[in-house]
Structures are given as C-alpha cells and as structure tokens.
Chains A and B, each alone.
Chain A
Amino acid sequence: MSRLPETLTAALLATAFALPAAAQPLGLGRAALPEEIAAWDVAVLPDGQGLRPGSGNVLDGEEVYIEMCAVCHGDFAEGIDNWPVLAGGGGTLADDRPVKTIGSYWPYLSTVWDYVHRSMPFGTAQTVTVDDTYAITAYLLYSNNMVDDDFVLTHENFTEVVMPNADGFYIDDRAETEYPLFTAEPCMTDCAASVEITRRAVDLGVTPMEDGRPAGTLPPLTLASADTAGAAETEAEAEPAAEAEAEPEPEATAAADHDPELVAKGQRVFRQCAACHQVGDTARNTTGPQLNGVYGAPAGQVEGFRYSNPMTTAGKDGLVWTDTELHAYLESPRAYMRGNRMAFNGLRSEDDRAAVIAYLATFAD
C-alpha cells in the first residue's frame, strides 16, 4: 500500500525534470488539427520544405500570368507604372539606378512560389491554385531568361533551380563594419573649420504642400486664427443661405436617387477596387481608369486610359455602363469580356454589386 504514493512521486519528479524549469504548460489552447495546419501553414522554405506536389509549364504559366498578373506587372514582367518589375535588371545592382527583380535580386525560388501562392494577385490573394503557382513561377523564370519555353517546373525539380543572385546576400555585419567607427568619443568643439549648405529640399519641390507651406505646418499661436476662422466660415456660409435654396437643385436630385445607406456600403465595398481605381475630386488614372462619370457612360472612354482592345471595341459598338451591364461585368469580369485587363475575380454578392454601383453613380457627371 505504501509503495504506490512513492511510485507516483517518482513519476511526478521525472516529469518535472523532463520539462524546462520555467515552462510548466498552463493547459491553454487546444490541439491544432492537421486540416487546420494544412490550411494556414503555406510557407515554402529555400530547401523546398512546404512545397505542395504539382507542376506547371512556361506556356500555361504565360496564359495564367497574362490573365492574373499582367495588369500590374506588365505582359513581359516589366512592371506598369510603379508596380514591381519582375524580370530583367541583371548586372545593375551596383548601378546608380539598380533594377531589383526576381532574376536580378531574389536569392531563392521558394520566395517566388510562396509569395505568388499566398499573397497574389493583389486584392484577390490566396486564389492561385498549386499547379498555376508552378506555372506562373515557370513563366517568371522564362521571363528572366533562366529556362527555355519547354520548361516544366515541379515539386521534384524545384530545388535544382539556382537563382542568379543566390550568393548576393550576406548577414548583417554592422556590428563589425560600422559600430567600431561610430563608437568613438564625439567631438564637442571646433569640429569643422566651416560648414556650408550643400543641398536644400525646397529645390526639389516634392513635399506635400498646403497653402504654400509644408502640409501640417502648425498654425500661428498669436492669432486666434482657429476660432476666428471657424466663426467667419460659419457666418460666410450662413449669409447666402437664402439664395442657396434655389441653386443646388441638380446635385440634390442626383444624390436623392441613392439610398445613403447603400452608398455608404458601396463605399466600403469599393475598397476592393481602390487598389486600382480612384473616384472623387482628385481622381486620376492609375492601374485602372479613374471612375468619375463612368456610371451611365459608354465603355472604354475615360480620357487618357489605355484600355484593352476588347473594351475599346465594346464601347465603340455601343456598350453603355447601365446597372445591368455593371452587374454582369462586376460579377465576373473575365467571363463578361474575354481579354479585358481588369484582374479582379468579381463580386459574388449581388448586394455588394448593387452597393458599389450606387456608390459609383454618386460620381456620375
């Protein structure tokens, strides 16, 4: 009888010693299930850890790439506007204007696969299949002149690919190369014979400005400017109130057509579009055309935007962005018009489409 507690004590002691001293688990959390780990742990490491079985070739990759990636990165991975350039740039890393691309800079192919698979396309992440990821990766190698057009990338030959800049990186050496230089007792007096201004930021004129000063400049404290300006503004607005009744009719009608709640929702939904499209007073064409006045207007006619051929043709043939057409287009942009450039998977929810259309209608001319 008396032996049992002794055995238990010994077992408890053994357990205690097997664990790190301060690491007695609290028993919080629950076991992660294999399906959950498979869903969330999508990391792919340089030695191929984490790669999913599959394959893809250059030609298929080109097709998928044109459909999903070219709108930002260009048909030849050359990068549209400021979006990343993915190809070329070899031998430029020591130049004044280095071009850092997959081919010229990235040390590991695993990074390309991992990033395309988990984070691209921008705005519709985690929609590229495993085989399409292999295919896009193969096409990007081809774009960088690293493989021929008959190349097939698979989980089996993946780690055989050596990136051109694989040896171009070294571990942070500031502690050895910089800290000794920057730990001397600093000079306090007569440290330089003379000091001249060599550059002025104002010469470049790239600072955001407001009222002729750098944006955010603190207002003067010796004027009661905020109070007074506020009061003056209110009065200025109040004075012409009588005549205002007649004037702003047209705008009021346009706005009254739209349910404010729906418009507010549309504004939220529009965030999915905002990576490529702008609306409002300061809107300009970026990756996509600016969308002021597009609602109710013929397709493909925003000034200064280079549309795909199918979109331009459709506009000339009489396509007008009515509610019905916008619903169909936004539900599935690619199915609606083959070959158009909008790399967006579409809004599946009819409510979301109605909301964003209502929002766009508030920017009709």
Chain B
Amino acid sequence: MSGSSGKGTTRRGFMRAGMAAGGALVAATAARATGAGPDPLITEVQDWASGFGDPVDATPYGLPTEHEAHVVRRNVEWLTEGPVSSINFTPIHALEGTITPQGCAFERHHSGAINLTKQDYRLMINGLVDRPLVFTYEDLTRFPRHVLTAFCECAANGGMEWGGAQLEGCQFTQGMIHNMEYTGVMLRDLLAEAGVQPEGKWIYVEGADASSNGRSLPLEKALDDVMVAFYANGEALRKEHGYPVRLVVPGWEGNMWVKWLRRIGVYDQAVESREETSKYTDLMPDGRARKWTWVMDAKSVITSPSPQVPIRHGKGPLVITGLAWSGNGRVTRVDVSLDGGRNWQEARISGDAKSKALTRFHLDIDWDGSEMLLQSRAIDETGYVQPTKDALRAIRGTNNVYHNNGIQTWWVRADGEVENVEVA
C-alpha cells in the first residue's frame, strides 16, 4: 500500500517539474531511463500488471483510447460562415499507414450530415435510359460487389496556401483528404440495368440532403471505375461519409463523391450546376477560368516531422514519414530533400502503392541536430513530377483556390520545432 502511494507522488512530482522546467525534463527523463538508475516502471509492479483490465463488452463498439484524444478532426473557424456548410481536416500528422479511419476522416457538408436509414433509402436512375428505375438499398446489395481503395481529396485542399504559407500543420494544409477501402457496386452495372441510350453522354449525380447539390460526370468515367459504395474500411459508411450510400470517384476531386446518393440522371450535356460553375472552377490570371478540372494531380507531404509533430527526441535516428498520391494512377517514386530542394534522395515506398490511393513513404536518417528544410515530391506512373508552388503560381496565379498540389516545405529548427515556410 505505502509503495503504491509513494509511486503516485513520484509521478505527480515529475509532472510538476515538467511544467516548470519544460525541455530540461525531456533530457532528465531520458537519462533516468537509460542510465541514472532502475526505472520504477520496470522494477515496481504496476497496477495494470497485477489487477484486471476492462472486461469484454466494456465498449461494444470501441473508440480510440483516451490517450489519443488529441487525434481528432479539427476545423479552421474563420474559413466558413457556419459549421453546417463547412469542412474540417483529417489529423494526417498523427496517422500512419495508408487507411484513414472513418471517425477522423475529414468532413465536407453543404447542408449538414443527414440521418438517412437503409429502409428510407431510394436511388433513382432516369433521363436518357431505356428503363427509368428506382432501387432500394436491398436492390443495390444484389448487384455484383467490388472492393477498391481510393483517396478522396477536396479540390480546395491547400487552397489557403495559394497566396503563401498560412497554417501551421499538415492537418490544416493538406488534411482535406482521406483514403478508405470501399465495398459496393460499380456504377456501370447500375447504368446497364437501366440501359443508357446512345444520346446519353453525361451523367449527373446528386445527393438526398438539403443542398441536393450534384455534379456532372462524362459517361466514360461513369463506365470506368466509379463505385456506388456502402461499406468503408469494412464497416457501413459513417453518417458523415454518406450513410447508407455514397459515390466513389477514384482520382477525381472530392466534391464529385456525392454522399447520400439519391439520383443519377443521364443527359446529352453537362448540367453545369452551381458546384461546377460558380465553385470548383479554377480562375486563371487572365480572368478566364478552367472548368471540368476533375483530376487531382500527383502530390505528397511529409506528415512527420511537421508543425504538429516537432522532434522531441534530439539528434540521432529520425524517421521521416509522409503520404503521396496521384489521381492519374500509381505513385512510383517519392523524393525527399533535407535542404529546401537543393539535393534530393529517394524515399522508401512502404507497402503496396495502389493506383489513385494514398501511398506511404519513409526515409530513415541520422539527424545531426542542425536545421533542415524538409520537402517531398511525388512522381506517378505517367512520369508527372509534383511541381513547386511557385511553378504552379507561374501558370495559375494566386486566385486559383483549387488544386494546389505544390511541394510543401517544413523548416525544422535545431530545437526540433517545425514551421510551415516557403523558400526560394
């Protein structure tokens, strides 16, 4: 008994010292663990090594441990007028591997995430088809099922950085992205069921929410790899990701991935909805705008170290990790620079590099404790090399808003703190 209360005092004392002394404590702790004496966490029997842990069923559907409570979606309040038509950001700085858990994958709603049941769900296909049809959720489950992994990136990911470095952390600068393994039915199979007529060249997909906003897709894409999905990462879609049914449009901007999908219209032309004219068009320096800029070009970012993940362990072995992706296919190579783009070395691609999906890269270095200007650049199977922000600005100016796939620079200082900077 007295032993355990003594331990508690020691640990609280530790914390107070930490608050007062800041960085000095890090070194002290390290010394304690490695040299100064036996570590009480090892030499003393801990509560968890003696008593019981949680029984089964303590959480019938588990959440992350409370110790990871900081790993959550976050928003930037000044970006939008209110939270119903808004966006938040995936904590990519705190994740590893390639799959994004649904619970922390960024949300973008135009009129809030609606509560729609499988029983109330209907999907209509109409327009230039032989047989205008209505499907129930159950009908959809009877079509041949497919599995694919794809990244979903908001066209505006990095949009705030067009004018220059603004936000501290890749969660905010590159976090409008997630990557999930979807199960569903191919859109082409549903269209075949309705029978697309020869004049049908475009489809228009729209959601059941109050924004009911929709996007036009050329028929070739619709017949290629577009999925009507109802599972993500092995479980039903979460409400905020379109439960019970969303569209998956691999490689193309997130706005086209209509959630709560309710209608597919077949037309002879693009609908030119608000979301593909007023928004999601790319204003160029001459005052004209690009439209139908659907593909998300190759891009990468170092997720750690980054402003939200300073280096706290000092010099020596350092794992640099990041994400790379391309809407045009597979990422074949990722280069990393430690000196702001003067010299580059090839990083390891860890695991499978899937087409139009997030790809994890690692570079293991021996950090000498000096300043670094970290950059990464993705190269995809078409040979496209992720450009610098300035190379993009030279073509597109700074009013473009969308499709900023420029190279990110992190300034790692000698004390391990990291800043979002731009270099020239």
CB within 8 Å of B: which residues of A? 20, 22-23, 25-26, 28-32, 36-37, 40-43, 45-47, 49, 81-83, 93-94, 96, 98, 100, 102, 105-108, 110-111, 114-115, 118-119, 122-123, 125-126, 168-174, 177-179, 181-184, 186-192, 194-202, 204, 206-208, 213-232, 271, 274-276, 286-287
Tell me if B424 and A115 are in contact (CB < 8 A).
Answer: no
Known: A202-B168, A231-B8. Is A208-B76 also a contact (CB below 8 A)? yes
Per a CB cutoff under 8 Å, which of B139, B295, B339 touches A195? B339
Tell me if B274 and A225 are in contact (CB < 8 A).
Answer: no
User: How far is it, in angstroms, between the C-alpha of A249 and the C-alpha of B126 when the chains are bound?
Assistant: 62
Tell me if B133 and A168 are in contact (CB < 8 A).
Answer: no
Tell me if B269 and A118 are in contact (CB < 8 A).
Answer: no
A94 shortest CB reach to chain B, Å: 4
* A residues near B292, Cβ cutoff 8 Å: 171-172
Tell me if A173 and B290 are in contact (CB < 8 A).
Answer: yes
User: How far is it, in angstroms, between the C-alpha of A217 and the C-alpha of B125 when the chains are bound?
Assistant: 46
Tell me if B84 and A186 are in contact (CB < 8 A).
Answer: no
* A residues near B110, Cβ cutoff 8 Å: 119
Tell me if B14 and A228 are in contact (CB < 8 A).
Answer: yes
User: How far is it, in angstroms, between the C-alpha of A188 and the C-alpha of B335 when the chains are bound?
Assistant: 9
* B residues near A194, Cβ cutoff 8 Å: 342
* B residues near A215, Cβ cutoff 8 Å: 74, 169, 308
Known: A29-B135, A174-B297, A275-B85. Is A228-B278 also a contact (CB below 8 A)? no
Tell me if B290 and A172 are in contact (CB < 8 A).
Answer: yes
* B residues near A22, Cβ cutoff 8 Å: 192
Per a CB cutoff under 8 Å, which of A20, A195, A286 touches B340? A195
* A residues near B379, Cβ cutoff 8 Å: 186
Q: Say yes or no for B59: interface residue by CB 8 A criterion.
A: no
A224 shortest CB reach to chain B, Å: 6
User: How far is it, in angstroms, between the C-alpha of A230 and the C-alpha of B11 when the chains are bound?
Assistant: 12
B217 shortest CB reach to chain A, Å: 13
User: How far is it, in angstroms, between the C-alpha of A25 and the C-alpha of B125 when the chains are bound?
Assistant: 14
Bitwise interface map of B from 22 to 44 toward A, beta carbon under 8 Å scored 1, else 0: 00011001100000000000000
User: How far is it, in angstroms, between the C-alpha of A200 and the C-alpha of B411 when the chains are bound?
Assistant: 9
* A residues near B335, Cβ cutoff 8 Å: 186, 188
Bitwise interface map of B from 287 to 318 toward A, beta carbon under 8 Å scored 1, else 0: 11111111101000000000111101100000
The 7 closest A-B pairs by CB, nearest first: A94-B287, A195-B340, A93-B287, A23-B192, A201-B420, A29-B133, A32-B132
Tell me if B424 and A196 are in contact (CB < 8 A).
Answer: yes
| A-B contacts, CB under 8 A, total | 324
CB-nearest residue of chain B to A42: B212
19 residue pairs A–B, Cβ–Cβ below 8 Å: A31-B132, A32-B132, A40-B126, A111-B272, A111-B277, A125-B212, A190-B343, A198-B424, A199-B165, A201-B307, A204-B166, A218-B94, A218-B308, A221-B312, A222-B25, A222-B29, A223-B29, A225-B15, A275-B85
Tell me if B290 and A30 are in contact (CB < 8 A).
Answer: no
User: How far is it, in angstroms, between the C-alpha of A320 and the C-alpha of B387 when the chains are bound?
Assistant: 61
Tell me if A108 and B340 are in contact (CB < 8 A).
Answer: no
Q: Apart from A41-B127, A206-B76, what 5 extra A-B contacts exist at CB < 8 Å?
A: A46-B272, A191-B342, A195-B423, A204-B166, A228-B15
Tell me if A43 and B271 are in contact (CB < 8 A).
Answer: yes
* B residues near A204, Cβ cutoff 8 Å: 166
User: How far is it, in angstroms, between the C-alpha of A208 and the C-alpha of B419 when the chains are bound?
Assistant: 14
A85 shortest CB reach to chain B, Å: 11
A133 shortest CB reach to chain B, Å: 14
Tell me if B421 and A186 are in contact (CB < 8 A).
Answer: no
B74 shortest CB reach to chain A, Å: 5
Tell me if B424 and A94 are in contact (CB < 8 A).
Answer: no
* A residues near B125, Cβ cutoff 8 Å: 29, 32
Known: A32-B133, A222-B312, A224-B11. Is A186-B283 also a contact (CB below 8 A)? no
A186 shortest CB reach to chain B, Å: 5
Tell me if A43 and B214 are in contact (CB < 8 A).
Answer: yes
Q: Say yes or no for B236: interface residue by CB 8 A criterion.
A: no
A110 shortest CB reach to chain B, Å: 7
Per a CB cutoff under 8 Å, which of B82, B265, B377 touches A286? B82
* B residues near A119, Cβ cutoff 8 Å: 110-111, 210-213, 274
User: How far is it, in angstroms, between the C-alpha of A26 and the C-alpha of B190 when the chains are bound?
Assistant: 10
User: How far is it, in angstroms, between the C-alpha of A45 and the C-alpha of B204 when the chains are bound?
Assistant: 11
